[in-house]
Amino acid sequence: MKGFLAVYLREMLIIWHRLPRMLLSFSISPALYLVAFGFGLGKHMTVGGRPYLEFLVPGLIAASSMTQGFGINVEINVARFYFRVFEEIQAAPVSNLAYVLGEILSGVTRALLSVVVILLITHLAGVKLSYGLPLWLGVLLNAFVFSALGVASAMIIKSHADQALITNLIITPMAFLGGTFFPVENMPHLVQIMLKALPLTHASHLIRQAAYGRGLILNSLVILCILALGGLLLAYWSVDKAKD
């Protein structure tokens, strides 16, 4: 338990020392998307009878919690390949599970911070949505899934450069195609099937329905729970792969 706390506290101290820079960085992308797609392109558009901005914001929340949760891999890689701090943790009597849970929770915390920043910006922009428990449950699950995948990918890769490849090949396309900016249902049937296989599509759907005050969508909730468990197991299994 103390090992888990140590891993988590280490990441939190790093965030604390960088907080102003991180908050600025968290706010730039969503602010740009809001300006470009929300106020620029979508000012007079509606989706399902609602203003496009109300459609967009939950998508941005899902995409941001995904990218920031998965972004824990960058921190781990810096610690592993650059500062070599990962070796300090490897040499300590800390179980793989404690390590993985500490890092995943750090990813989840980063994701939650980024969502708070988005909500503040959108609130200032006058967007009113339902920010109750179902929305936060969706955000937590989504952040957990992608933090776990971030930890796993950070353990499996052999160099820092490989990490950028994974982000560019998987995370960036998913951010655009996983129901963030447009309804997946607008796509041709075959494309819809492919897009509905993406974890982010389910997270966007779950978070959007919660933000509309329609509660939790059971199907998406179950899928994200299964993915969270799978991600945790994958991350746990991958820790030993980082040893030479």
Partner 1 sequence: MARLAIRVENLTKRYGSIEALKGINFEIAAGELFALLGPNGAGKTTTIRILSGLTRTSGGQAYFFDLNIFERPLEAKKMAGLVPQTINLDLELTVWENLLIHGLLFGLSRREIREQAERLLRFAELYERRKHKVRTLSGGLRRRLLITRALMHEPRILFLDEPTVGLDPHIRRRLWALIKRIQQQGTTILLTTHYIEEAEFLADRVAFIDQGEIVVIDTPESLMKRLGEFALDIVSETGLETKYFQTRAEAERAMLELAKGDKSVTLRRVNLEDAFVYFIGKRV
Nearer to partner 1, 84 or 123 (CB): 84
Could you give the 3-state DSSP secondary structure of residue 186?
helix
The reply to whether 91 sits near partner 1 by the rule CB under 8 A is yes
Q: Which of 85, 137, 170, 234 binds partner 1 (CB under 8 A)?
A: 85
Which stretches within the chain are classed as H helix? Answer: 2-33, 52-70, 72-77, 85-90, 96-124, 133-156, 160-166, 172-177, 189-195, 199-211, 218-238
Residue with tokens 């009878």: 49
Which of the ranges 9-17, 107-115, 174-182, 187-195 carries the binding residues for partner 1, by CB under 8 A?
9-17
Q: Which of 27, 29, 90, 130 binds partner 1 (CB under 8 A)?
A: 90
Tokens of 67: 């990218």
Report in angstroms how near the CB of residue 2 gets to partner 1 at its nearest.
5
Task: Give DSSP secondary structure letters for 43-105.
Answer: TT-EETTEEHHHHHHHHHHHHHHHHHHHTHHHHHHIIIIIS-HHHHHHTSS--HHHHHHHHHH
| Measured distance CA(204)–CA(197) in Å, rounded | 13
Residue with tokens 């980063």: 110
The reply to whether 191 sits near partner 1 by the rule CB under 8 A is no
Q: Which of 66, 89, 151, 207 binds partner 1 (CB under 8 A)?
A: 89
Report in angstroms how near the CB of residue 5 gets to partner 1 at its nearest.
6
Among 145, 155, 116, which Cα is nearest to 15's?
A: 116
Tokens of 25: 């960085």
8 A C-beta contact, residue 116 and residue 139 = no
Q: Which of 13, 19, 169, 222 binds partner 1 (CB under 8 A)?
A: 13
The reply to whether 3 sits near partner 1 by the rule CB under 8 A is yes
| Measured distance CA(103)–CA(7) in Å, rounded | 7
The reply to whether 128 sits near partner 1 by the rule CB under 8 A is no
The reply to whether 176 sits near partner 1 by the rule CB under 8 A is no
The reply to whether 158 sits near partner 1 by the rule CB under 8 A is no
| Site for partner 1, residues 15 to 34, rule: CB under 8 A | 17-18
Nearer to partner 1, 79 or 228 (CB): 79
Report in angstroms how near the CB of residue 6 gets to partner 1 at its nearest.
3
Which spans of this chain sit near partner 1 (rule: CB under 8 A)?
Answer: 2-3, 5-7, 9-10, 13-14, 17-18, 83-85, 87-95, 243-244
